[in-house]
Amino acid sequence: MAVLPLAALAQTAAPDLTQKADPFVGVDGGGVTGGNTVPGAGVPFGFVSLSPDTTNADTNGYDSKSPIMGFSYTHVSGTGGSGKYGNFRVTPTVGPLKLNHLHFGKTGERASPGYYSVGLGNSDAERIQVELTASRRVGFQRLTYPAVADSQLIFDVSSVVAMRGRGQRVRLAKVELIDDHTLAGEVTVEGGWNPAPYTLYFHAVVDRPAKAFGAWKAGQGAFEAKPGVGRSEGGSQVKSPANRQGLMIEYDTEREFSNRLGAYLTFDTTTRRQVQMKLAVSFVSAAKARANLAEEMPGWDFDGYRQAARAQWADALAKIQVEGGTDEQQRIFYSALYRAHTMPHDLSGENVWWTSDEPHYEDFYTLWDTFRTLHPLLTVIQPQRQRDMLRSLIDTYKHTGWMPDARIAGANGMTQGGSNGDVLVADAVVKKLGGFDQALAYEAIRKNGEVDTDQPFLQGRVLKDYLKLGYVPFTETRSASRTLEYAYDDYAIGVVAKALGKTDDAKRYLARAGNWKNLWDDKLGCVRPRYPNGEWVENYSCTYEYPDRSGPWWDAPFYEGNSLQYSTYVPQDVAGLMAKAGGREGFVAWLDQLFDGHYSQGNEPDILAPYLYIHAGRPDRTDEIVRQLMAKHYHATRTGLPGNDDAGAMSSWYVWNALGLYPNAGQPYYYIASPVFARGVIALEGGKSFVVEAPATSDANRYVTAASLNGKPLDRAWITHDELAKGGVLTLTMGSKPSAWATTFVAPPNGQ
């Protein structure tokens, strides 16, 4: 009998799942819009995202085809809109100091969780090997230059993800050259996904003295250097009042956007070719950035810090271990699970906005995207993270007066629809997550349901007409989609009220959850906007896509979608929706119409729709559709996502579906559908695990024909959260044709 060595046994028991996660998946456009993921180095939920910036990038700062300008320390992943961050870009070059048109080709680009490397340069003679790794608030670069007398390290303190100048702009940048290997600085930036300015600080050190160093200022095609120690400021890109009022908003008549400020270090790499540089960031001060550096990366062992980052990712990816499926499906899965651990960013210890001992997270970008799939996933596999995120949101309410739907860099971002923090709180309450102040959380979400917002784009809801009419009228923007979202937010508030024993509140909010019916047009079979007097909006189609080019993006009756898509969003009352759509058979036909060319996997409003067939006793249609969607829209490639990943929302959708489960956020159950893996083991809190087994699953065997839970037959296409949280085994029998399994629908517990 052969005996495996201990190392081989360990490798068999705990495979290195980081090898299956590819940070390049989704960086480019595969659908209507790009995945906009970030390929650079970071750690789970870390703020520093040290990644290349390219000349034709979207909000992620990167695209595969265009030249690299340098490597900045802060990014958001998978987002649309006007972007944020891209701060403190560092560019290594060779030869005389030149600061304009820093466009460089790349070779040998590689990335894995916590690590990125590339050969940077426009010729072999000038190529620099760049390696990046990171911790939560520190980025580390290891640079191997060619053997030349002048190797440059150029710091752009005023850098941002540019978006053609339509997004962020620098108000003021400052830099201090402290000595020949140390510098610090700050930048204040306005614009992007929210208009509020933010100030970010840095402290940087290199591992050897520079032979020359100093500050620089640059404008359109020109720069001036200021050698030696000292302080400099400048780089303001804010448009003048006259320019702000100009009609050509993308044209800077005074060339403001070209204004930049930075620093340079020059090294002789003739014999000693390697230079290492660490840069820490802080929202508090440059001194706090220096303290962060001392805390997180006191030494110069690049490979050690790289392995530490990799170990954090290995731990995160090991929360779910799968067997079976194809190699590509496993790579898609672990790349998706990787991206589900990127945002929001853990900025505990960096809360400069108020004094609090609570955990602090920023860059909820946005809950409208992530409440549906990402946060329910974190509740299961990262429950303490989810508790801390909830505590941060509740603490934000305590100190600002509102629980945000979006928050970036210390201020609220754009609110796309409802107050979706309501759903996060309800999800935590009905799943007994615990570990947060439920009374204060209820106070926050009840305000969302009672108090008309003072800033409609940034917080709360537009309630005046909604409370009076039972719907948001066409005189408000996004009136129909807001009505649908407000109704479910009301349901969430009602569920929490009931759990806390607030009976009168519960009755009132659960009644308001039926407001979606006030916009249902029985003749058209979809939700239709109404005027305040009750009349329908004219010249209307259920399948017309909004927004169009006839008005501003935010002013359409639906936010990013058509009525048929949004009309499926009644998760609190699928039975009522089915009745409106013509009963069981009519409902199936109505859903079939949606999936006949009108469904969008590239955005969130209708991503629950495949599971609504289960309510009509047709789990086979759910199985068919989710398999088709996974196969069509998800690939282990740079264009492998259906659209913006939206901070992990679309990736977590794949994680759930590939396992054969799917949440209805805010309610304590999970639908069962068609897993692509023969076995998936979900690590739960307290050392327990929940296993989904489907030994016969394949592309042909995509139908669940029978099920058992812990050995007992299960004739329903859902399990409760309690059943999952206790740990156990869900065994699914798979076949090539549908069976009678779960064709008689039994309603799951819904939190009421």
pLDDT digits (tens, 9 = 90+) for 536-546: 999 999 999 99
Domain ranges of the chain: 22-314
pLDDT mean across residues, the chain: 94
Mean pLDDT of 331-336: 98
Which of 235, 236, 226 lies closest to 177, judged by CA?
A: 226
pLDDT above 50: residue 5: no
Mean pLDDT of 2-9: 35
- pLDDT at position 667 is 98
Side-chain-side CA neighbours of residue 318 (13 Å): 11
Counting every residue written for the chain, the total comes to: 752
Cα–Cα distance measured from residue 398 to residue 624, given in angstroms and rounded to the nearest whole number: 46
Cα–Cα distance measured from residue 658 to residue 650, given in angstroms and rounded to the nearest whole number: 12
CB 390 within 8 A of CB 441: yes
pLDDT above 70: residue 661: yes
Q: What is the pLDDT of residues 706-737, one digit of tens each?
A: 999 999 999 999 999 999 999 999 999 999 99
- pLDDT at position 68 is 98
pLDDT above 70: residue 243: no
Higher pLDDT, 752 or 113: 113
Cα–Cα distance measured from residue 237 to residue 362, given in angstroms and rounded to the nearest whole number: 25
- pLDDT at position 750 is 85
Mean pLDDT of 159-173: 90
Determine which of 42-51, 164-173, 479-488 has the lowest per-residue pLDDT on average.
Answer: 164-173
- pLDDT at position 292 is 98
- pLDDT at position 8 is 37
Higher pLDDT, 2 or 189: 189
pLDDT above 50: residue 11: no
pLDDT above 90: residue 684: yes
∠ Cα 461 646 494 (to 5°): 35
Confidence of residue 253 (pLDDT cuts 50, 70, 90): low
Mean pLDDT of 651-656: 98
- pLDDT at position 222 is 87
Using alpha carbons only, how large is the chain's radius of gyration in Å?
A: 26
Cα–Cα distance measured from residue 659 to residue 656, given in angstroms and rounded to the nearest whole number: 5
Mean pLDDT of 664-674: 98
CA 635 to chain centre: 18
- pLDDT at position 221 is 86
- pLDDT at position 252 is 67
CA-CA-CA-CA torsion for 612, 558, 423, 355, nearest 10 degrees?
160
Domain 22-314 annotated CATH 2.60.40.1730: no
pLDDT above 50: residue 7: no
Cα–Cα distance measured from residue 68 to residue 405, given in angstroms and rounded to the nearest whole number: 34
Cα–Cα distance measured from residue 55 to residue 46, given in angstroms and rounded to the nearest whole number: 25
Confidence of residue 237 (pLDDT cuts 50, 70, 90): confident
- pLDDT at position 751 is 74
CB 547 within 8 A of CB 539: no
- pLDDT at position 245 is 54
* Whole-structure pTM value: 0.96
CB 215 within 8 A of CB 262: yes
- pLDDT at position 176 is 98
Confidence of residue 3 (pLDDT cuts 50, 70, 90): very low
pLDDT above 60: residue 621: yes
Q: Which residues contact 241 (CB under 8 A, 6 or more apart)?
A: none
pLDDT above 70: residue 242: no
Percent of the chain with pLDDT over 90: 89
pLDDT above 70: residue 527: yes
SS3 (DSSP) at 509:
helix
Mean pLDDT of 41-56: 98
- pLDDT at position 675 is 98
Cα–Cα distance measured from residue 400 to residue 402, given in angstroms and rounded to the nearest whole number: 6
Cα–Cα distance measured from residue 356 to residue 394, given in angstroms and rounded to the nearest whole number: 12
Mean pLDDT of 383-402: 98
Mean pLDDT of 279-300: 98
Region label for 38, one of left (φ > 0), alpha (ψ between -120 and 50) or beta (otherwise): beta
- pLDDT at position 31 is 55
- pLDDT at position 244 is 61
Side-chain-side CA neighbours of residue 511 (13 Å): 8
- pLDDT at position 493 is 98
CB 207 within 8 A of CB 275: yes
Bridge partner list, 176: 184, 231
C-alpha distance from residue 10 to each of 304, 528, 684 (Å)? 21, 59, 21
**DSSP 8-state symbol, 686:** G
The kind and range of the H/E element at 638 are: none
In 410-541, which residue ranges form alpha helices assigned H by DSSP?
A: 421-430, 438-450, 464-469, 479-499, 503-512
pLDDT above 60: residue 481: yes
Residue environment code for 155-191, b if the CB has 16+ CB neighbours within 10 A, otherwise e:
bbbbbbbbbebebbbbbbbbbbbbebbbbbbbbbbbb
pLDDT above 80: residue 32: no
CA 187 to chain centre: 25
Residue 194: exposure state from Cβ atoms within 10 A (0-12, 13-18, ≥19): buried
